[in-house]
Structure 1
Amino acid sequence: MKYDVIIIGAGPIGLNCALEAEKANLSYLIIEKGTIVNSLYNYPLYMTFFSTADKLEIAGIPFISTAPKPGRREALEYYQGISRGKKVNINLYEEVLEITKNENFQIKTSKDNYESENVIIATGFYDFPNLMNIPGEDLPKVFHYYKEPYPFANQKVVVIGASNSSVDAALETYRKGAEVTMIIRDSEFSKSVKYWVKPDIENRVKEKSINADFNSQILEITENSVIFKNGKGDVEEIENDFVLALTGYLPNFKFLQKSGIKLEGDNLNPFYNPETMETNVPNLYLAGVVCGGKDTHLWFIENSRIHANIIVANILSKKSM
């Protein structure tokens, strides 16, 4: 079957694109390599959103939350509930391998081949850790994803990073009995740290319940230790059981390039027209966080929901020509 639109990625923005396409009577299919809102599923179990529930809504469907700022489980119920209730046309656990274009797009996946007049890439960024490329990073004790604190009880844990994920992991593991050391490249915690969490981490560091080495650089991870350069320029080695290397995540740049999208500058910004969300490849669109290149804090659910409306409006305008 040939579709009007194929959407790659079943995150909140991909779902929103599908619902807007359906409103416009466009035939569509979402292809997702994991489950519905797969990135949210892989978030820490007790994660709380920075945004309030109304800012996470899609397609005008109310997001009812028991707290002003919902958590991971509520978000999973909301988005997966929309998919069920609206009978969204979606193929799960099917990875898109290649997009080529002749007259229309040919989409090759791990299971089948498809044809579409338009393609929307809404793949997010959570699948590829921003690696440090240091010795020992591939050891079994190193984790680039954090789910919950219980495996780290009474262990010596190094947390690398200073953003929300790092701060949450440091506080949660500390409260389960871990001896926590944070190794932070900058001179302070990230300004994006949730305002209700920041005083907590700052006070734990101040009272030395959590050790924090600012202006520091991790050099090597061994079976039983971590070696780093501290803020004074001295090399230190500390005993260690586990490393939570929460250094951020990146979009799949190879897939974008392979699809013909230009990447610009050191930030690898994918080229697109902000008025239409269309890339340099005609009828190939970007939506959501993938638009930001390496700057994965630029776009999020709250401010990229509008991408679906922009894209569908552009597709309809071309059809009316």
Structure 2
Amino acid sequence: MVNKDLIIIGAGPIGLSCGIEAKKAGLDYTIIDKGALTNSIFNYPIFMRFFSTAERLGIGDLPFMCIAPKPGRQEALEYYRNVVEFFQLKVQLFEEIFSVQKEADGTFTVTSAKATYKAKYIVIATGFYDIPMYLNVPGEDLPKVRHYYKEPHEYAFQKVIVVGASNSSVDAALETWHKGAEVTIVVRGEEIGQRVKYWVKPDMENRIKEGSIKALFHSNIKAIRENEVDIETPDGVITMENDFVLALTGYRPNFDFLEKIGIQLEGATLHPSHDETTMETNVANMYLAGVVCGGLETHLWFIENSKDHAGRIMQSILTKENKA
């Protein structure tokens, strides 16, 4: 049994920020992640560029140096590795958490794939990128259907359907088209998403206007087969020849895990119960940090507007420790 003051679950930017603040507070902590360091960013498309500037993505007052106005995936990975080394953060990677059990004395027993921990406090900073929002249509389990997009070369000269109108969908549509794919974008609403990056949105709209990329608005995938896809459109169901479907319809937090460890989910958006001042959940001494706080509303929290969660959490913990 490994005894700690604090276990932080999730080694993304916000989990690392919590580790920095815990170290400043003199707490004995460990950051644990089931994947690589900043696993979500690692799994982003290779050429993805952030909406935010480097300054806003920085944590722990450590400067994020970047030549371009908007940093890319590789620069972010480099920066957050440097953060871990600079602050000498205690990070355990590729260690999945199986359970978090509240004991009668108020402490937590945390069981992972590699060890069992005893901790007084828990921080959940697990993000939302691990579980796709599935289409739930026949054929979605075919190998040609992808819920994550890495880079465009694989789709060169193929018939590609991209589902969705968010940043990830638009980036994938444009990049694969530039590499020679025949691209159709299927959008449930009436237009490209309003939150698409402002320097990308006009490019996508112009490609649609000129007919380079075909767009089907007010439309949904109905069925997927090996060589074709059925799409419900305002003019009825059409069948299109198809090689790949990029179903980039968004992602969600691991709600099953949150409920399993006792966190209540509220309303239609499955908002995890927590105090917005201290970030403490309905489970005493268990806290939330980062984008996981928004439930299904994954657009509410980003690195730049949630990195201060770490300070709120540590203030709450120190207040409790001083009272004790």
Q: TM-score range by the shorter chain?
A: over 0.9
1:235 aligns with 2:247: no
Q: Match of 1:316?
A: 318
Q: Match of 2:67?
A: 66
Deviations 1:17-54 (A, max 9, x none): 00000001011000111111000000000000000011
Q: Match of 2:138?
A: 135
Q: Match of 2:265?
A: 263
Deviations 1:224-257 (A, max 9, x none): 001011133x000000000000000010000000
Q: Match of 2:296?
A: 294
Q: Match of 2:36?
A: 35
AA of the residue aligned to 1:171: L
1:54 aligns with 2:39: no
Structure 1 residue 60 displacement after superposition: 0.5
AA of the residue aligned to 2:77: L
Q: Give 3-state SS (helix, strand or coil) of 1:272's partner.
A: coil
Q: Match of 2:24?
A: 23
CA distance in 2, matches of 1:109, 1:4: 17
Query: Which of residues 260, 272, 275 in structure 2 aligns to 1:273?
Result: 275
Q: Give 3-state SS (helix, strand or coil) of 2:123's partner.
A: strand
Structure 1 residue 85 displacement after superposition: 2.4
Q: Match of 2:147?
A: 144
Deviations 1:1-32 (A, max 9, x none): 32111000000000000000000101100011
Contact preservation (8 Å) 1:129, 1:247? yes
Give the TM-score normalised by structure 2: 0.98
Query: Which of residues 170, 179, 203 in structure 1 aligns to 2:173?
Result: 170
CA distance in 2, matches of 1:83, 1:306: 18
CA distance in 1, matches of 2:25, 2:11: 19
Give the TM-score normalised by structure 1: 0.99
Root-mean-square deviation (CA, aligned residues, Å) is 0.6
Q: Give the fraction of aligned pairs with identical amino acids, expressed as a percent.
A: 57
Structure 2: gaps of 5 or more residues: none
Contact preservation (8 Å) 1:213, 1:231? no
CA distance in 1, matches of 2:289, 2:238: 44
Q: Match of 1:159?
A: 162
Structure 1 residue 84 displacement after superposition: 1.9
CA distance in 2, matches of 1:308, 1:86: 15
Q: Match of 2:186?
A: 183
AA of the residue aligned to 2:59: I
Q: Match of 1:220?
A: 223
Q: Match of 1:303?
A: 305
Contact preservation (8 Å) 1:183, 1:216? yes
Structure 1: gaps of 5 or more residues: none
Q: Give 3-state SS (helix, strand or coil) of 2:135's partner.
A: coil
CA distance in 2, matches of 1:85, 1:272: 31
CA distance in 2, matches of 1:162, 1:40: 20
Q: Match of 1:101?
A: 102
Q: Match of 1:12?
A: 13
Contact preservation (8 Å) 1:32, 1:94? yes
Q: Match of 2:286?
A: 284
Q: Give 3-state SS (helix, strand or coil) of 1:170's partner.
A: helix
Structure 1 residue 86 displacement after superposition: 1.9
Deviations 1:174-217 (A, max 9, x none): 00000000000000111110000011000000000000000001
Structure 1 residue 80 displacement after superposition: 1.1
Contact preservation (8 Å) 1:42, 1:147? yes
